[in-house]
Every structure is written in structure tokens, then in C-alpha cells.
Chains A and B, each alone.
Chain A
Amino acid sequence: MGRQRIVMALAGAGAVAVVGAALLLPGGQGSQAAEAAPREPVPGDPLTGAEIARAGDIASATSRAHMAAGRVNLLYVERDDGKDAEERRRADAYLYDYATDRLIVRTVDLGRGTIVKESVTRGVQPPPSKAEEVRAAELLLADPAYGGGVREAYARAAGRQLRSVADLGLRGLIFTPGQEGGARRCAAHRCVRLFVRLPGSTWLDTSRIVVDLSAKKIYTLEW
């Protein structure tokens, strides 16, 4: 099939599209953050926006240089809901180092303001972050074979030129080569399969396209 294969998947218009379009825009970590006025959280509460920011700061402290260089990224912060730490406010910060392909999870004790645990591993890929979805789409747009096709499809669907990745509705899933052939480097690299939504409730057929965030490359699956 090869690289020419970007086909428009016509899905028709629907009520779902109205709701869906807005939230597919890239943004910060909003879903988990409590949006209400500042309040002292009790142990079972989701992390507040302030706690997420603080945990991210503490967990990133030793990785600042790599983060500035774009080598390491803070993916997101998740509440630690482990049974052994029920009464404590703890947060797991997920960081990824694309140069060494290591996942770093730092557990921050929010009461003490310190990292209480760090796990580093290879070959474990938590879901892509919003920022990674945007980066993957940028790589796709910059690709000589695919970039033009995406712009064309967008212009056709929207009736105007694509200005930036922000115009696209993005959703990413981790790709690991298992049952599907091709993109073998994704066994070690951080690879993302994108869903790209266009105005008018259409999607690009991107099911064969894999974006390698570690190598900054695009692969086409052969099946």
C-alpha cells in the first residue's frame, strides 16, 4: 500500500461532532485538576491544580536541563491511590527521556514536598500526553510524503488552509509492535498512532501511520 495511502474516512456529520471538536484541542492537564476554589483536599480527592503543578515542579527539579533541551518531557501527574499510602497525598509524575528511551516515574509526597520513590525503566510506555500528540502531529505535517496530504485533506474539509496543528483534533495511542507488522524500532522507542479529526466530522485514515517520537520519524505499517 505504501505512503500514498491517506484516505479520507467519511463519517458524516453528527451531534457528537459539536461536542467532540472543542475538547480534542490540545491543552493542559485539565481533566484531573479540581477546578473549584482552593480548598484543603481530603485523602480521597483528586489532585488539585495546585498539587499537580507542585508535584510536577518537584519531580522535574533534577531534569530541568534535559527538559529545556526537549530531551525529557513531563507527561502528566497522576494521584497515587495505593492502599499503603491511603492517608497521604502522593502524586506520581511520569517523565520520559527520548534520548535513552527511559520512563521515569517519581512519586512525590505532597505533604513533605519530596520525592519518596523513583522508578526508571525501558520498554514501558504510558499513554501519550497532549503535548506529545501535538508533537506527533507536527512531525506528520513536516513529513515530505504525508504533510501535503494532511494539508490537502484539511483544506477540503474546512474550506481554508491549515494554519497549525492546533486546527486538528488529535488523539494518540501508544503503538508497540506486537501482532502488527512494521515499525520494529517502536519496541524500544516511544511511538504514537494518531487519530486526526478534521472539521465536518471527518477523520483522516491514519491507522497505518506511526510516529516515532524518539527517532522523530514516521513509519508506515504494511498490512
Chain B
Amino acid sequence: MFLRLALSCAMLTGGLGAAQTAPAAQASHAMPAARVSAAPAARTPQDTAVAQASQGTAVAQAVRAPAAPCSAPYRIDRTLPNGARWQLCWEMRNIEGLTLTKVVYTPKGNRPVSVLRSAALAQIHVPYDSGSPRYHDIGALGSTAIPLLAADCPGGERREQSVCVTTRARGHAYLKSGYEEPSVSAQGSDLVVFAAFQVGWYTYLAEWAFSDDGAITPRVGATGSLAGSTTTAGHGWPIGVGSATFEESHSHNVFWRLDFDIQGKSGDVVEQYDFSGSRTAKRKLKRTTFTREAKALNRRTRWWRVVDRGVRNADGHPVSWELNNSDSSQYRGPAGEAFTRADVYVTGYRSCERLASVNPAPRCAGSVDRYVNGERLTDPVLWVNVGYHHVPRDEDADPMPTHWQGFRVTPRDVTAKNPH
């Protein structure tokens, strides 16, 4: 055990020293070739060959950093207090609003791993409990971005008025009691990128938290004002004086589109994990690999991951990101709203497939349920549907307190151990 620990520490140090170099150069330059295949973010075996071949230029490449994929106002490059680094670009698109691209994570002492090529909201579907109205709240979201005040971006910087980039505490990263020595603990932090959009009565906060442990938490907060649409007792809740008027209950079914590209688009595979055994002592892991486009439903212990077997950590395990912790109300709409009938969709990348419903592109299917049509997966895109059933209460008026909904994306085997 001790030996093994010492070994990985040495490796981490090696990685740290070379963290500023280009990945290919680094592989041959900073580490013995035998370790290349086991180093985080190394693609095997092709990239190993490339790395060795390019040894001659390694030093030159090590001197200057690779060009950023976007210019300064759109570039986010933040090293958090524990040494974890996140790099990405943002864009305020007309339709999807805040869009994050080229997301790269560098665990402390390790080499960079590219995670997401693109991530954005893909719909906010708001059906009211009486059956009407039924809004698809992603219109031209970009043009509804609210200029943020300094107070709206505490401790951070505002980019082009409407995007906030800041750092936020996230509580204990870990706490472990000592044997004879004092306990060890650390406070974690998040890089937070967010924008606010005014859609009718509602203000939507679109937030992305990138944690110093490699987790990504996308969430949407709904605030602003209630719609003020009244209904009968069966579809609402009395929020005015007395119980004459009933504010109508409704759902916010939020969809996100995540184009994972772990060290490039090739090699990404989506797996679903289940644990069989109910009212039994044993549970058994069951892995389902999606070879074709798929629709999947939430289950209590079910989770998914995007894994690239060509990219290994120092233990030789394939690098992956896990999708979990969705706390969805799992709204299922009528037949005409089939896009509400699954919680996760896995589709093959197509640039025209942008929104989960009311897709704005010509010569393309209209909703995410139709993007799933049996194609063999080579470059998977994940669509996550998280619903929140909003039953109004007196406290909602006014301004309405923010109610949040989202999910988590956590690293699984990106590093061989906790890279704290």
C-alpha cells in the first residue's frame, strides 16, 4: 500500500512539473515512455506513437502554450485554490443563450483532459396543470439576457454585462480525523459561470459550477414572478388573501444538451449502470453499453457515464464522466410531447440537433425523441431532462424565491486517486 502510494505521488509530481506543456510533448518529455499509457489524458496507443515521434519538437512546444480556442473576453481560465484548473470558452447564442465550449479540466498535478465540446440549455418546457398553456420557454434566449449588477456577481467578474464568472465556496472537500496528529480537512470551491434570462414573468438563472474535484453541476433557478394565471382548486393553490383564487401549478421541464468529447470526439462510449437485487442480500453490477442511439429512464441506483477507453489514468483505468444525482419530478406529457417521456437521451452528434423541442433548424428532426432513430453511436451527445413540479405557495409572491433544478456530472477514474 505504502509503495503504491509513493509511486503515484512521484507520478503526480512528474505531471505537475510539466503541466504547462502541450500534451503530446509532455508525454515524451516529462515521463518515461512506459508510463505514457497510464498517464491521465494520454490516448493509447496512437497518441503514444505521436508523442514519441514528436520528441524532437517537445522542448519548443513546451515553451509556448497552445493557442486558446477563443479570445480574452470569452476565455475562462481559472485555477482554484486547491490547484485544480478549468479552462473553457463562453458564447451568448441567440437561441440557446449561454453556451460553454471547449471545457478542459486539469486536476492538480495532472495533465489537462478535455471534457465537453459544447454545453447549453436545450429547452425549458412549461406545461400548466389544467392542460393549458404549455410554453416552450427557449425563444431567442440570448436576447433576453439580463445585464447583471456588480452585486449579482459576488467576488467575480462580469463579461459583456450579462455573464458572471466567479468562485464560490462549496463546503468541506474532505475531513479525516488524525490518529495521533491533527485531522486533515479542506474547504472546496467551485468556478461558477452563470447568466440570467427574463422570459415572461419568470427569470431563469442558468448556472454551471465547475468544482475543484472535477465535478460539473449544471442547474437552472427559476425566480422573478409567478405567472398570475388562476385556475380551479384541483389545479392550483390559493396564494392570495382567502381562498378564492388559485394560482396554477405547472412543471418546468429543463433540458440540457451536453456534447462530451473526452480528449477529442473519437472513442467516447456511453454506458448505463444498474444494480440488480431487490429484497436480496446481494446486489450485482450490470453494465449496458449503448451502441446505438437511446432513450433512458431514471431509476434510483441507475447512472450513466461517458467513457473513453483510449484515455487512461495512472492506474490504467479508462477516464470517464458520470451522470447522476438528477432529482427529477419525471413529468410525462401526452403523446404529442413524446420528448418528455425519457430522462436521458443519447444521440449521435448532428450540428442541427440543438433543442429538445421546437428545434429551429431546417432539414432536421423537431425534438429529441426523434433524434433517436437507431443510428450507431460514434460521437455521442447527451440530453438530460430534469423536471420540477411547481405548486405555488404564499411565499412565491413577490419576487419569487429561486427554485433550483439540475444534476451532477462527476469524474470517474479521471485521476488514479484524489488529486487534492
In angstroms, how far is the closest chain A Cβ from the Cβ of B2? 45
Contact A16-B223, Cβ < 8 Å, known A23-B147, A124-B360: yes
A193 to B132, CA, bound (A): 13
A207 to B132, CA, bound (A): 9
Assess whether A73 is interfacial by the CB under 8 Å rule: no
Assess whether B13 is interfacial by the CB under 8 Å rule: no
In angstroms, how far is the closest chain A Cβ from the Cβ of B273? 28
Assess whether A98 is interfacial by the CB under 8 Å rule: no
State which of A108-116, A142-150, A160-168, A170-178 sits at the interface with chain B: A170-178
- Of the residues B71, B99, B133, B358, contact of A174 by C-beta under 8 Å: B358
**Contact between A179 and B228 (Cβ–Cβ < 8 Å)?**
no
Assess whether A12 is interfacial by the CB under 8 Å rule: yes
**Contact between B91 and A14 (Cβ–Cβ < 8 Å)?**
no
**Contact between B140 and A124 (Cβ–Cβ < 8 Å)?**
no
**Contact between B201 and A195 (Cβ–Cβ < 8 Å)?**
yes
B residues 226-268 in Cβ contact with A at 8 Å: 226-229, 265
Contact A171-B139, Cβ < 8 Å, known A23-B145, A223-B132: yes
Residues of B within 8 A of A158 (CB): none
**Contact between B138 and A127 (Cβ–Cβ < 8 Å)?**
yes
Residue of A nearest to B101 (CB): A44
Residue of B nearest to A172 (CB): B139
B residues 135-167 in Cβ contact with A at 8 Å: 135-147, 149, 160, 162
Assess whether B59 is interfacial by the CB under 8 Å rule: no
Assess whether A139 is interfacial by the CB under 8 Å rule: no
In angstroms, how far is the closest chain A Cβ from the Cβ of B298? 23
- Of the residues A83, A129, A181, contact of B349 by C-beta under 8 Å: A83
- Which of B99, B224, B334 counts the most A-chain CB atoms under 10 A from its CB? B224
- Of the residues B94, B201, B379, contact of A76 by C-beta under 8 Å: B94
Residues of A within 8 A of B200 (CB): 171, 173, 195, 203
Assess whether B178 is interfacial by the CB under 8 Å rule: no
Residue of B nearest to A35 (CB): B160
- Of the residues B95, B363, B379, contact of A121 by C-beta under 8 Å: B363
Residues of A within 8 A of B366 (CB): 124
Assess whether A32 is interfacial by the CB under 8 Å rule: yes
Residues of A within 8 A of B361 (CB): 105, 119, 124, 126
In angstroms, how far is the closest chain B Cβ from the Cβ of A218? 16
A42 to B68, CA, bound (A): 9
- Which of B143, B145, B203, B398 counts the most A-chain CB atoms under 10 A from its CB? B143
**Contact between B224 and A16 (Cβ–Cβ < 8 Å)?**
yes
> In the complex, which range does the number of interface residues on chain B fall in?
35 or more
Contact with A along B345-378 (1 / 0, CB 8 A): 0000101000000111111101000000000000
Assess whether A214 is interfacial by the CB under 8 Å rule: no
- Which of A80, A94, A179 counts the most B-chain CB atoms under 10 A from its CB? A179
- Which of B136, B199, B362, B398 counts the most A-chain CB atoms under 10 A from its CB? B362
Report the count of interface residues on A (CB-CB < 8 A). 67
A15 to B401, CA, bound (A): 12
Contact A42-B69, Cβ < 8 Å, known A11-B226, A173-B135: yes
Assess whether B45 is interfacial by the CB under 8 Å rule: no
A203 to B360, CA, bound (A): 27
Residues of A within 8 A of B139 (CB): 127-128, 171-174
Residues of B within 8 A of A32 (CB): 91-94, 142
In angstroms, how far is the closest chain A Cβ from the Cβ of B247? 10
**Contact between A20 and B102 (Cβ–Cβ < 8 Å)?**
no
Residues of B within 8 A of A103 (CB): 362
Assess whether A29 is interfacial by the CB under 8 Å rule: yes
Assess whether B81 is interfacial by the CB under 8 Å rule: no
A94 to B139, CA, bound (A): 14
Residues of A within 8 A of B102 (CB): 44
A27 to B270, CA, bound (A): 43
Contact A11-B351, Cβ < 8 Å, known A16-B223, A42-B71, A128-B139: no
**Contact between B360 and A24 (Cβ–Cβ < 8 Å)?**
no
**17 examples of A-B residue contacts, CB within 8 angstroms:** A16-B224, A20-B203, A29-B143, A31-B142, A31-B143, A32-B94, A36-B73, A81-B99, A81-B118, A83-B265, A84-B351, A125-B358, A171-B199, A179-B337, A180-B134, A207-B133, A223-B132
Instruction: Give chain B's interface residues, CB within 8 Å of chain A.
Output: 67-71, 73-74, 89, 91-95, 99, 101-102, 117-118, 127, 130-147, 149, 160, 162, 198-201, 203, 223-229, 265, 333-334, 336-337, 349, 351, 358-364, 366, 379, 397-399
Instruction: Give chain A's interface residues, CB within 8 Å of chain B.
Output: 9-16, 19-20, 22-24, 29-32, 34-36, 39, 41-46, 76-84, 94, 103, 105, 119-121, 124-130, 171-174, 176, 178-181, 193, 195, 201, 203, 205, 207-208, 221, 223
